[in-house]
Amino acid sequence: MWRIAKKEQVIPKTLQDVIATHEFRIDTLDGELNRVLGGGIVAGSLILVGGQPGIGKSTLLLQLAMKLNKKILYVSGEESEAQIKMRADRIGVTNSACFIYTEVNVSQILKEATQLQPDIIIVDSIQTLMSPFIDSTPGSISQVRECTGELQRFAKETNIPIFIIGHITKEGGIAGPKLLEHIVDVVLQFEGDQHYAYRILRTLKNRFGSTDEIGIYAMDSNGLSEVSNPSELLISPDDTHLSGSAIAASLEGLRPLLLETQALVSPAIYGTPQRSATGFDLRRLSMLLAVLEKRCGLPFGQNDVFLNIAGGLKVSDPSVDLAIVAALISSLQDIHISKKLCFAGEVGLSGEIRPVSRIDQRIQEAGRLGFETIFISKYKSEIVTGKNFGVEVRTLSRIEDLLREVFG
């Protein structure tokens, strides 16, 4: 149980006089969640979990409430007690010290919380709460802001950490998370494609840790499970020998991630060639095609081009360029690329292969996963020469080198 922080008189101090306290953290027993929180839940912190409806926010936090051996107050303004019970049954674990409370009045909630003295409070969702002090409807900007402010004060006074769920729309807007980012201590965003099992929990703000962390989960019929080795799941087995796919040694936040890029290039029969990209920026694809056409004379202009990042992932890391270019050439020329090869490099406008950040980590991950060869930029490659990563490192300076070395 948390101690109620004593109200002492605050006076200005120099930094020497401030006593550094090691902040206390609760282990969530979930490696991915611990990682994005920077090592567990900090006492008295207010943590916003945002994401589109249906992505799995309630599941994530109910699962946390059920798995932790702590006293939890789970407030829901979204679902009935019976609905929550059904969800908990799917998850399959129960915590006899988890209290479900379907209430939307924030004063009432805090009164109940003061009585119960839980270790953690979870509020699902901020858009359903209402403060009696504000005369507008739940979900409106002023209500959302006021309720969050009240929760923040309560968390700081009692040292009880509070998770709040906030919906964001596809456009990322509405009265909700965006508005609250400066009030709360931590902002986590849960994202993914509903048609795929993978979910990424990303740290957008963290007063107690790094914002480069991500957690990866898979949603199945029993809730969310941690994915500690995502690369192994994102790459399909190499038994088909089909053309058009290449593996990128990418990075999500600070985390190396090997993923499969897939291209289909086929003659454009109906006039204007089509270009389509899933999980990758369409303009960047057009740029890469123009570079291939101009520098290598490859006839993409007469072809439809479809590009896909496997697993429903969205990538913005420029290091995937090289794998995408390889997948495009592979499909155009119908030449299979072995899945023992992977690529990490940005492609510039004149067809040069540019170096990418944290190359040693990417190479290390490729080695760990048993790849035979990784292709990287020749520039700045000195930093990795002479080191043994358990994978052969080959360097390229231009796209023409890729054509020669891989497609020979």
Question: What does 310 bind: ligand TYD, Mg ion, none (CB cut-off 5 to 8 Å by kind)?
Answer: none
Task: Name the residue nearer to Mg ion (CB basis): 88 or 246.
Answer: 88
CB of 61 to Mg ion, least distance (A): 9
**Spatial separation of the C-alpha atoms in residues 185 and 380, rounded to whole Å:** 38
Smallest gap from Cβ 13 to ligand TYD, in A, equals: 43
**Residue selected from 14, 21, 137, 221 as contacting ligand TYD according to rule CB under 6 A:** 221
Q: Which does 55 bind (CB under 5 to 8 A by kind): Mg ion, ligand TYD, none?
A: ligand TYD
The minimum distance between CB 355 and ligand TYD, in angstroms, equals 39
Is the backbone peptide bond immediately before 330 cis, with ω within 30 degrees of 0? no
Among the listed ranges 53-61, 113-121, 225-233, 311-319, the one in contact with ligand TYD (CB under 6 A) is 53-61
Out of 13, 14, 15, 54, point to the residue binding ligand TYD (CB under 6 A).
Answer: 54
Q: Does 166 engage in binding with ligand TYD (CB under 6 A)?
A: no
Question: For the chain, what is the largest distance between any 2 Cα atoms, rounded to a whole number of angstroms?
Answer: 78
Dihedral in degrees, nearest 10, Cα atoms 68, 70, 75, 79: 40
Does position 59 bind ligand TYD by CB under 6 A? yes
User: Rounded CA gap, 326 and 375, in Å?
Assistant: 11
Cα distance between residue 388 and residue 11, in whole Å: 56
Which residues lie near Mg ion (CB under 5 A)?
A: 58
Minimum CB distance to Mg ion smaller for 58 or for 128? 58
CB 263 within 8 A of CB 305: yes
Which entry of ligand TYD, Mg ion, none binds 222, CB below 5 to 8 A by partner kind?
ligand TYD
Strand order in the sheet with 275-278: 275-278, 303-309, 255-267, 245-252, 341-344, 373-377, 392-396
**Site membership for ligand TYD, residue 53 (CB under 6 A):** yes
Separation of alpha carbons 313 and 322, rounded Å: 17
- Applying CB under 6 A, the residues found at the interface with ligand TYD are 51, 53-59, 87, 90, 219, 221-223
